[in-house]
Structure 1
Amino acid sequence: MKCPFCGASETTVADTRVNEDGDIVRRRRRCLACDKRFSTYERAEIRLPQVVKKNGSRADFSREKLSASLWLALRKRPVTVEAVDAAIARIEEKLLAQGEREIPSEKIGEMVMRELKKIDKVAYVRFASVYRNFEDVDEFSDLVREVTRPVAERGRS
């Protein structure tokens, strides 16, 4: 670690402490050249993949955008904040587990639809109708029928 005071590269660690949550490490360091002390902080860097949009442009993954999309579909529905936070966490975990540097926005949309289907069927239909860009009422009706069919029947089709 380079000393911020004199620029020397030789330092020693005098003390190491982990914060309460266990996700940040604070190290107290001493420069061997100028004998000054300074602190450094370490935290794991988790890089979610870049989102490749339909037009080919790329954007950083945004938890805020994901949350806003879910809440828009869930507007005025009896769903808890905890349920939405858990859905977002599951989507982020899946994205991290894939280990890809880029992911098409369509894949994220499919993940959102799977999570909404588990949380609230009305929100799922709302999101799917916009996401899939239905051209006519028949497509919408098919989706509603699929959601309202008993689970045993869904496996047969």
Structure 2
Amino acid sequence: MKCPFCNHEDTPVLDTRLSEDGHSIRRRRRCGNCDKRFTTYERIELTLPVIVKKNGSRTEFDPAKLRGSLMLALRKRPVSAEAVDMAIQSIQDKLLQSGEREVMSGQIGELVMRELKRLDKIAYIRFASVYKSFEDVAEFQDAIAEVGQERKGAKRRDD
């Protein structure tokens, strides 16, 4: 590590501690040339994959955009902010675990639909109608029937 004061490359570590939040390591260093002390932090850097849109363009993953989509689908629905945060975290975790450097936007849409189906069936139908570009009432009916059949299956398992 170079000294920020004189750019000397010999800066031995005097003290190493885990930060209060437990997500970084704090290192106290001293320059071997100018004898000044400074602190460095070592943190984990996780990179979410780049999103490849339908038209082939690429963009950085934006959690705020994901939140906006979820909130639009969940508008006026009884779902807590904590549940939305957990859904966003779940989607980000799945993207990180995939290990992919690029992900098609359709994969994110599918992850969002899964989370919405778990959170709120009405929000799921709202999102699916836009995401899948429903063009007539029959497509709405099919999506509603799919959700209805899942509820019936869940009730039978509970009995």
Normalising by the residue count of structure 1, what TM-score does the alignment of the two structures yield?
0.93
Q: In the alignment, which residue of structure 1 is the partner of 2:89?
A: 89
Residue 6 of structure 1, CA deviation: 1.2
Q: Deviations over 1:50-108 (max 9, x none)?
A: 00011111111011111111111000000011111111111111101100000000000
Q: In the alignment, which residue of structure 2 is the partner of 1:80?
A: 80
Q: Deviations over 1:14-68 (max 9, x none)?
A: 1222222101222111011111111111211110000001111111101111111
Any gaps of 5 or more consecutive residues in structure 1? 153-157
Q: Deviations over 1:97-144 (max 9, x none)?
A: 100000000000000000100010000000000000112111111101
Paired letter, 1:16:
T
Paired letter, 2:52:
V
Q: In the alignment, which residue of structure 2 is the partner of 1:66?
A: 66
Q: In the alignment, which residue of structure 2 is the partner of 1:144?
A: 144
Once the two structures are superposed, the pairs formed by residues 125-140 of structure 1 within 5 Å of their partners are: 125-140=125-140
Q: In the alignment, which residue of structure 1 is the partner of 2:157?
A: none
Partners in 1 of 2:4 and 2:50 — Cα distance?
A: 33
Q: In the alignment, which residue of structure 2 is the partner of 1:155?
A: none
**SS in structure 1 opposite 2:65?**
helix
Residue 7 of structure 1, CA deviation: 1.1
**RMSD (Å), alpha carbons:** 1.1
Paired letter, 2:146:
E
Matched, 1:106 2:103: no
The percent of aligned pairs where both chains have the same amino acid is: 63
Partners in 2 of 1:132 and 1:86 — Cα distance?
A: 24
**SS in structure 1 opposite 2:12?**
strand
Q: In the alignment, which residue of structure 1 is the partner of 2:36?
A: 36
Partners in 1 of 2:14 and 2:6 — Cα distance?
A: 18
Partners in 2 of 1:6 and 1:21 — Cα distance?
A: 31
Partners in 2 of 1:44 and 1:15 — Cα distance?
A: 19
Moved more, 117-126 or 143-152: 143-152
Normalising by the residue count of structure 2, what TM-score does the alignment of the two structures yield?
0.92
Any gaps of 5 or more consecutive residues in structure 2? 155-159
Q: In the alignment, which residue of structure 1 is the partner of 2:18?
A: 18
Partners in 2 of 1:122 and 1:140 — Cα distance?
A: 11
Paired letter, 1:151:
G
Matched, 1:123 2:123: yes
